[in-house]
Structure 1
Amino acid sequence: MQSTRQEILTILKEERQATVEDLAERLELTPMTIRHHLNVLQAQALVAASKVRRSKKVGRPRLVYTLTEAADALFPQGYGELARHLVTEVKDSVGQAQTEAIFRRIAERVADEAPPSVEGQSFEERLDQVVDFLQEQGFLSRWEKNNEGYVLINVNCPYRRISQQHGEVCLLDTELIRRLLGVEPRRESSMAAGDGSCRYLVVPPNG
């Protein structure tokens, strides 16, 4: 990202909001230049503008710019490290078996948020539905058909770094797939083990 736009985002992060004039003064640039950069940031859904009436109630309302949630995600986050420490603490406190049970219950909660299967729905239609739901959870998913059944493929794992240190995190995947499809998945590869994707063989209940 261009340095000027990054500076604008940083100022909005620090000040929570700013006008074109505020930014122009802070960065020692013309208002026209600032507007150009703000237009680009708005097009990228990183900045939002809202109208605020002037205190003297004369003239047109001025535009005040703020960061969007998408822009907030560009700044350093500590969620991964926090989650890693939480998993370590849970394992040390309750042991391996209870930790695995906790992850299975988490998968159950996530599965409860998924769209339910529809009566008369084919297995492939349900797979499409499950893939869409997994995409919403941060996976990059697709499925393929093979001689044994179907292979559900995840090429992105939203908690990959944690799973590399805590393998039980992968129970979230297998338990979630089991609950969503109603079949027992067989893991064929895992990103946590260094593979390029997580692949799960799933066979329809009727074979």
Structure 2
Amino acid sequence: MTDDKQKAKEQILYLLKMQGATNATDLAEQLEVSPMAIRQHLQALRGEGLVDYSEQRRPIGRPVKLWQLTDRTLNLFPNTHADLMVEFLNSFEAVLGEAELEKVLAERSRRQIQGYRVQFATLEGENCANLRQSRLDRQVKRLAEIRTKEGYMAEAIAQTDGSWLFIENHCPINEAARTCRLLCRSELEVFKTLFGPTVTIERVEHIMEGDRRCAYQITPHIKSGGST
């Protein structure tokens, strides 16, 4: 029973991480358990300081409790050796200066782009139903898979206008990025270089600016008389 309760708590934390503020009824439906059981788990998690709620008023009826994660959950998700990276960045800049640090980050970006392109290249040889999708569609989905493996809990959501919303629900280099804002800037530049001049990429949500996640709008340039 203890293992079942722990598993349920972990599932709740995962859903709140991926979805943001959610009510108990929606969580219950997704986990296929009773709302009462979910509320008991949420109260237990609240007692541990891992979740809290805010009340959202409705036109009719009682306010609805929207549950969300607290800052104490940050260490529950991958952080890619945060302390070591922060110490390295501080030491590197102190010894060699900001200009040299920028060179190192530029090399990191180059290697990222190279690695992603290699994995994109495998899409060209896939003989499956995915080939009905556009090249951009397949690339965005593949990038979400890659970034999820890297700890970003990424997802790609197709928009009705043909664009994509690329979401990273977690930042495994969060502490390092707060120390060195160049890391965030380089992440955006990596995406822009990776997809090239045929798309526009804009960061529309940013953890560093107080949002719960980072999100990027990826919009293909529409060519007259044909598709991208």
Normalized against structure 1, the TM-score is what? 0.54
The match for 1:133 among 126, 143, 146 is: 146
Aligned position for 1:79: 81
Aligned position for 2:102: 100
Residues 107 and 146 (structure 1), Cα distance of their counterparts in 2 relative to 1, 3 Å cut? farther
Residues 193 and 93 (structure 1), Cα distance of their counterparts in 2 relative to 1, 3 Å cut? farther
Please state if 1:171 is matched with 2:185: yes
Instruction: Give the secondary structure class of the aligned counterpart of 2:167.
Output: strand
Instruction: Give the secondary structure class of the aligned counterpart of 2:220.
Output: coil
Q: CA offset at residue 185 of structure 1?
A: 2.5
Aligned position for 1:116: 120
Q: 1:1-207 maps to which residues of 2 (within 5 A)?
A: 79-114=81-116, 115-117=119-121, 118-119=123-124, 121-144=134-157, 145=159, 147=161, 149-182=163-196, 183=199, 185-206=201-222
Deviation per residue, 1:145-165 (Å, 9 max, x gap): 265832211011110121122
Q: CA offset at residue 179 of structure 1?
A: 3.5
Instruction: Give the secondary structure class of the aligned counterpart of 1:142.
Output: strand
Deviation per residue, 1:67-106 (Å, 9 max, x gap): xxxxxxx9xx993212101111222334334423422321
Larger of the two Rg values belongs to structure = 1
Q: Which runs of 5+ in 1 are unaligned?
A: 3-73
Normalized against structure 2, the TM-score is what? 0.50
Instruction: Give the secondary structure class of the aligned counterpart of 2:120.
Output: coil
Q: Which runs of 5+ in 2 are unaligned?
A: 4-75, 125-130, 224-228
CA contact (8 A) 2:200 2:221 kept: no
CA contact (8 A) 2:89 2:180 kept: yes
Aligned residue pairs total: 134
Paired-residue identity, %: 16
Return the alpha-carbon distance in structure 1 between the equivalents of residues 102 and 160 of structure 2: 31
